[in-house]
Amino acid sequence: SISLFIVYITTGFIYLFYPNYLNHVEPMVASLGVVLKNGDFLYPMPVGVYPYSWSLYGPALFEMQAVFQWVDVMPTIVNSKLPGFIALLVSAAILMRIDKGWLYRGYLLYLFPFGLMLFWNRAEPHLVMIVSLSLLLSKHYAESRYLPILMGFLGGAVSALKMHGAVYVFAA
């Protein structure tokens, strides 16, 4: 599983500089980040105005995009892909540290059929990262009285990305 993470991290790094997106939703996510960066409303009135009416994502994804667009270190397309790539790096580091057993590492192989979703410019890489963090906390701090508070915080953060995201954290 380590070698597969290396392959995906390398692919994600190459994708950062690929001059297009993989999916039609990714430019919408980047565009709404630019909207926030420019100080405009994320959910303008009247309700139902495209592209705001059909998004499955909560405001956290667009706020994250706005931060990366505000930094403006690289071109907009590269800045918009950075959060997903960073989420992949953090997820890989966390998941490889949780447990060194062969059974656990075998379960990690279930991540790889998701392919490009592990680093693209949508909510999924961040869902994986927050779930990885919740698994790490639940394994290493199972006896802590602060664990429910931390898990509640992570559940709230992940549901700001996607409404049903809290289910993934609470399963941990």
Query: What is the model's pLDDT at position 130?
Result: 94
Question: Would you say 120 and 26 are in contact if contact means Cβ atoms under 8 Å apart?
Answer: yes
Query: What is the model's pLDDT at position 19?
Result: 93
Indicate the pTM of the whole model: 0.88
Query: What is the model's pLDDT at position 149?
Result: 93
Question: Would you say 32 and 42 are in contact if contact means Cβ atoms under 8 Å apart?
Answer: yes
SS3 (DSSP) at 96: helix
Cβ-count burial of 172 within 10 angstroms (0-12 exposed, 13-18 middle, 19+ buried)?
middle
Query: What is the model's pLDDT at position 164?
Result: 87
Query: What is the model's pLDDT at position 47?
Result: 62
Query: What is the model's pLDDT at position 172?
Result: 76
Tell how far CA 53 is from the center of its chain: 21
End-to-end CA distance of the chain: 21
Query: What is the model's pLDDT at position 123?
Result: 92
* Cis omega (within 30 of 0) for bond into 83: no
pLDDT averaged over 10-residue windows placed end to end, the chain, 172 residues: 86 93 90 90 67 72 92 88 94 88 82 86 92 90 90 93 87 78
Query: What is the model's pLDDT at position 141?
Result: 86
* Eight-state DSSP code of residue 44: P
For residue 135, give both structure tokens.
Answer: 């698994």
- The DSSP annotation for 25-42 comes to HHHHHHHHHHHHHTT--S
Query: What is the model's pLDDT at position 5?
Result: 86
